[in-house]
Amino acid sequence: MVAWDDDASAGEWIADRLGDFGPRVDGTVPRGYAVYACVPLPGDHAMGASPAVTQAETLARVLAPFTAGMPIHLALWTGHGFLYDHGTDPRATSGVGVFVGWGQDEPRPTEEELAAAREEGWRRVAPTLVERPAAPMLLLPHREYHLWTGTTADVAAFRDHDQPPNLWWPDDRSWFVGSEIDASATYVGGSVDVVDAVCAEKSLGAYRVAASDRMVFDE
């Protein structure tokens, strides 16, 4: 479990450096970095059981030498289905549902059997869901995020849901990683050395882009 930040102050600088919300890189990764890179998201199982998290861990390993051990700020979009409202029953406020099926040649279960199966399903599923914090969210154009502070290892905090943080950056803001929820790539802003290191890691398949370039989306 992550220890959520009590407020969103760590990310308040971001909004003033974003371009217009939309398909461009600078709509997700702040302007002002020397160079940028596109890191295409892996296909299913391309990098293991949790491909998106495994890719983020590789990216974190590349970026770690540029952090000098400083804290890393991480942000998770509030709309992920595995999140549920603070202090509520996840069965009512998460984006997850439990459904019961039966074989085509089997008789329909009774209502009592269906209710019991749903209850068993929720007994298994509910403990895997994550409670949203009560703290104020980071409000960016058309996107809202929950923040926590940790290390580069925290990119794997939600491995069970194959969900890396949507935004993450070091305390000195010397680089920034952003994944727009509708895009099919992650973007990195930083110094020439940072981006060269990202592009040199062959498993990432990264390449340089400009802040004004259009992000990659699934066709």
> 81-123, pLDDT tens digit by residue?
999 999 999 999 999 999 888 888 888 888 998 888 889 988 9
Whether residues 57 and 157 share a domain: the answer is: yes
Does residue 46 surpass a pLDDT of 60?
Answer: no
Tell me, yes or no, whether 2 lies in a domain. Answer: no
Q: What's at 171, amino acid-wise?
A: D
- Mean pLDDT rounded to a whole number for the chain: 94
Place of tokens 């009590």: 6
Q: Both tokens of residue 170? A: 């070091």
Do residues 121 and 151 both lie within one domain? no
Indicate if 118 and 137 belong to the same structural domain: no
What per-residue confidence (pLDDT) applies to 171?
Answer: 97
Do 136 and 150 fall within a single domain?
A: yes
Range of the domain at 107: 95-128
Rounded CA gap, 75 and 190, in Å?
18
Note whether residue 115 is domain-resident: yes
Comparing 56 with 116, the larger pLDDT belongs to 56
Alpha-carbon distance 107 to 44, whole Å? 35
* Selection from 143, 163, 184, 154 nearest residue 64 by Cα: 154
Q: In total, how many domains does the chain have? A: 2
- Angle between the 51-63 and 192-200 helix axes, to the nearest 10 degrees? 130
Identify whether residues 107 and 150 lie together within a single domain.
Answer: no
User: Are both 16 and 121 inside the same structural domain?
Assistant: no
